[in-house]
A and B are shown apart, each in its own frame.
Chain A
Amino acid sequence: MSNIETGIGKMTPATTRRKRLSQNQVAWIGLIVLLVLLPTSATPFHLDIASQIFIAGIGALALMVLTGIAGQISLGHSGLMAAGAFTTGILYKETGAGIWITLPASVVAGAVIGLIFGLPSLRLRGIYLAMSTLALHFLVIYLGGEYEFASGASTGIFLDPPVVFGFEIYDGYAWYYVLLALVAGTYWGCRNLLNSKTGRAWEALHANETAAEALGVQVANYKLLAFVITSGIASFSGALFAYYQNFVSVEAFTLFLSIQYIAMIIIGGMGSLPGALLGAVFVTLVPYFVEWLMEAVPYIGLDITTVSSASYAAFGLLMILFLVFEPSGLTGIWKRLVGQFASPSKREDTP
């Protein structure tokens, strides 16, 4: 079928695989080893922060794929996480279902909601699309609130620790490793997808829908696919959040949460999967940092409201600073640093 002189028939895929690890692979292996060993010298407080970062990381990866790669803006991220949390919470409370049912059900629920709320993306873009996804948020929160009220669980739904193969995931160490594995798996899957036809189609429609269509990409289908997949992942992270907190309540899923996720992908660096994870680390740490700062600075009356309003202010400031001074985010800073420190001899290393 290929009559190009470069035809497929003539070619055999490169069979020689390079045995030497690239610098990049070494860095990744180092990071994984570090993360696996980290709990040996961590307090429960540190493990809790790390677990929060992993859950946020899964959600941030999803939003990065949707917005940073496929170019579809969404303010519905918090609503999708709520959908996952409530699917899990309701299934558990009503039927006592285990995670092998609740987690897949949460993914499916998120994917279906994503499909429905992806439909406006076929007509709308930019801020208009963002507004339509906002409706998703309020709808899910409304339904969740209705359920809480109707079931008499007006403060929320309590969940028991999940049981996997007879092991109860309860203490900080277990959660740390489970969530680390899940965020790593999500990253790996997203990475694979971006290096395949689907990811390239998303990049293409992000850059220019008309050109993408003329290259044979069914733009409408791929937009919806982006919503479906990333909504499934976001909902999954919401379900994990519910299990991790042992508790589901609409109060956890505010519009501010959606904005925090947008902050993660902006601060991390748009279009970069490692950026999503860096952003998740950064944004999760901000409130702790603000609290630490306020404790360190004398004469500031420290109570919950001042800490949280200072966190809000810090977010606003950080987003503005990044948008103005470093639009490529933490990944941009990282690349520049590496570029500065990489010696010419190292550069010659790469073919």
Chain B
Amino acid sequence: MYDLELKDVELHFGGLVVLNRVSLGVRSGELLALIGPNGAGKTSIFNCISGLYRPSGQIHFLGTSLIGKKPSAIAEMGIGRTFQHAELIPRMNARENLFVARHNHLKATLAEQWFRLPSARREEAEHLAVVNDVLEMLSLTHLAHLPVGGLPFGIQKIIGFGRALVAEPKVLLMDEPSAGLTQEEREELAYHIDAAKKQLGIPMLWIEHDMEMVAAIADRIHVLDYGRSIGDGPPDEVLDNPEVVRAYLGTTQLTQAGADVAAPREEGVTTV
């Protein structure tokens, strides 16, 4: 049984079919890689799950429908995500950026906040400790006091990943967390994703172009092309599927399909 499940999800922008009857599911403790060329609809699926888009079809999380809910309500249910471009708050430092994600865990009333009553202080300290632990875990402590706007993009992406973790999500959606990272940073990220999967035991959905990373740590792969699902299964099986290879890598690279090929069809950018 899937914890997070999409059934026949369809999304249109005017006459453009962005998602065409997409169905997929993720179990708890499972890392599902969502791959496909740019424009295939991967980020759109995330935006449907997090409530930014209004698709038709069904999206269920532990039996509750997410369709029609506000993004903040969906986030409050425990569906956390990272963004392709990190989307941090440039004026704040890393620690404060992570702290923002504790929003729904903090219960202090407005008056308690305004007067900084002992209850509010205690709560802040407790949650700051969670933030500090995540910073420590991601080896970001030494950068935590710097405004994130001035940090390298790769570091911002890791902070964005940390921000999603800090919320203690019940589902984690990661939108190309490795894009813009150096090889070294990618390896570190892969380690953190794998560690988070094992520790949290939650369903994780992961958009990724780096096939080496996918082959190494994904439990399963779901392939999209032009808004359609064209494959789903264990990494070695899917990456050898001729249709997947053709759609994803282009016909000329058939023979190179495998773990060491990481060439997306185009390097465009899509934003939220």
A contacts, CB < 8 Å to B: 1-8, 11-14, 189, 192-193, 195-198, 200-201, 203-204, 206-208, 210-219, 225, 229, 271
Q: Which residues does chain B contribute within 8 Å of A211, judged by CB atoms?
A: 83, 87, 272
Provide the bound-state CA to CA distance between A198 and B129, in Å.
19
Listed residue (B76, B99, B114, B134) with the most chain A CB atoms within 10 angstroms of its CB: B114
User: How far does the Cβ of A26 sit from chain B's closest Cβ, in whole Å?
Assistant: 20
Contact B72 A216 (CB under 8 A): yes
Provide the bound-state CA to CA distance between A5 and B70, in Å.
30
User: How far does the Cβ of B48 sit from chain A's closest Cβ, in whole Å?
Assistant: 12
B contacts, CB < 8 Å to A: 50, 52, 70-72, 75-76, 81, 83, 87-92, 96, 99-104, 106, 108, 110, 113-116, 120, 122, 124-126, 128-130, 133-134, 136-137, 163, 165, 167-168, 199-201, 272
Question: Known contacts A214-B71, A216-B103, A217-B72: does B126 contact A196 (CB below 8 Å)?
Answer: no
Contact B113 A196 (CB under 8 A): yes
Contact B87 A11 (CB under 8 A): no
Q: Which residues does chain A contribute within 8 Å of B52, judged by CB atoms?
A: 210, 213-214
Q: Which residues does chain A contribute within 8 Å of B103, judged by CB atoms?
A: 197, 200-201, 204, 215-217
User: How far does the Cβ of B256 sit from chain A's closest Cβ, in whole Å?
Assistant: 37
Closest 9 CB pairs of A and B: A6-B133, A13-B125, A216-B75, A196-B113, A211-B87, A213-B71, A207-B89, A11-B129, A192-B116
| A196-B116, A208-B89, A215-B101 given; 12 more Cβ-contact pairs under 8 Å | A4-B165, A8-B129, A13-B128, A189-B114, A196-B113, A200-B103, A201-B103, A203-B92, A210-B87, A211-B83, A213-B75, A215-B167
Nearest A residue to B133 by beta-carbon distance? Answer: A6
A196 CB contact (under 8 Å) in B71, B89, B108, B134:
B108
Provide the bound-state CA to CA distance between A11 and B104, in Å.
19
B134 CB contact (under 8 Å) in A4, A189, A198, A203:
A4
Contact B129 A213 (CB under 8 A): no
Q: What are some 14 contacts across the A-B interface (CB < 8 A)?
A: A11-B129, A11-B130, A189-B114, A192-B115, A196-B106, A198-B113, A200-B92, A200-B103, A204-B103, A211-B83, A213-B71, A213-B72, A214-B272, A225-B110
Contact B272 A210 (CB under 8 A): yes
Contact A6 B114 (CB under 8 A): no
Provide the bound-state CA to CA distance between A102 and B117, in Å.
27
Q: Which residues does chain A contribute within 8 Å of B124, judged by CB atoms?
A: 195-196
User: How far does the Cβ of A12 sit from chain B's closest Cβ, in whole Å?
Assistant: 8
User: How far does the Cβ of B189 sit from chain A's closest Cβ, in whole Å?
Assistant: 17
Contact B102 A5 (CB under 8 A): no
| Chain B facing A: main interface SS | helix
Q: Which residues does chain A contribute within 8 Å of B108, judged by CB atoms?
A: 196-197
Provide the bound-state CA to CA distance between A8 and B103, in Å.
15
Contact A200 B96 (CB under 8 A): yes
Contact A13 B126 (CB under 8 A): yes
Nearest A residue to B99 by beta-carbon distance? Answer: A200
Q: Which residues does chain A contribute within 8 Å of B129, judged by CB atoms?
A: 8, 11-14
B110 CB contact (under 8 Å) in A198, A214, A219:
A198
Contact A197 B102 (CB under 8 A): yes
Nearest B residue to A351 by beta-carbon distance? Answer: B145
A4 CB contact (under 8 Å) in B50, B114, B168:
B168
Provide the bound-state CA to CA distance between A156 and B96, in Å.
48
Contact A11 B100 (CB under 8 A): no
Provide the bound-state CA to CA distance between A12 and B90, in Å.
30
Contact A193 B114 (CB under 8 A): yes
Provide the bound-state CA to CA distance between A175 and B71, in Å.
49
A215 CB contact (under 8 Å) in B91, B100, B114, B126:
B100
Provide the bound-state CA to CA distance between A206 and B92, in Å.
12
Provide the bound-state CA to CA distance between A200 and B116, in Å.
15
Q: Which residues does chain B contribute within 8 Å of A14, judged by CB atoms?
A: 125, 129
Question: Known contacts A6-B134, A13-B126: does B70 contact A204 (CB below 8 Å)?
Answer: no
Provide the bound-state CA to CA distance between A207 and B199, in Å.
31
Nearest B residue to A207 by beta-carbon distance? Answer: B89
Contact A2 B75 (CB under 8 A): no
B89 CB contact (under 8 Å) in A2, A193, A204:
A204
User: How far does the Cβ of B26 sit from chain A's closest Cβ, in whole Å?
Assistant: 17
Contact B114 A192 (CB under 8 A): yes
User: How far does the Cβ of A112 sit from chain B's closest Cβ, in whole Å?
Assistant: 16
Q: Which residues does chain B contribute within 8 Å of A201, judged by CB atoms?
A: 100, 103
Contact A13 B122 (CB under 8 A): yes
Provide the bound-state CA to CA distance between A10 and B52, in Å.
35
Q: Which residues does chain B contribute within 8 Å of A189, judged by CB atoms?
A: 114-115
Q: Which residues does chain A contribute within 8 Å of B201, judged by CB atoms?
A: 3
Provide the bound-state CA to CA distance between A128 and B100, in Å.
28
B199 CB contact (under 8 Å) in A5, A195, A208:
A5
User: How far does the Cβ of B120 sit from chain A's closest Cβ, in whole Å?
Assistant: 7
User: How far does the Cβ of A108 sit from chain B's closest Cβ, in whole Å?
Assistant: 15
User: How far does the Cβ of A277 sit from chain B's closest Cβ, in whole Å?
Assistant: 18
Nearest B residue to A1 by beta-carbon distance? Answer: B168
Q: Which residues does chain B contribute within 8 Å of A207, judged by CB atoms?
A: 87-91
Q: Which residues does chain B contribute within 8 Å of A192, judged by CB atoms?
A: 113-116, 120
Listed residue (B71, B87, B106, B200) with the most chain A CB atoms within 10 angstroms of its CB: B71
Q: Which residues does chain B contribute within 8 Å of A217, judged by CB atoms?
A: 72, 100, 103
User: How far does the Cβ of B264 sit from chain A's closest Cβ, in whole Å?
Assistant: 24
Contact B167 A216 (CB under 8 A): yes
Contact A214 B81 (CB under 8 A): yes
Listed residue (A1, A4, A195, A225) with the most chain B CB atoms within 10 angstroms of its CB: A4
Q: Which residues does chain B contribute within 8 Å of A2, judged by CB atoms?
A: 130, 168
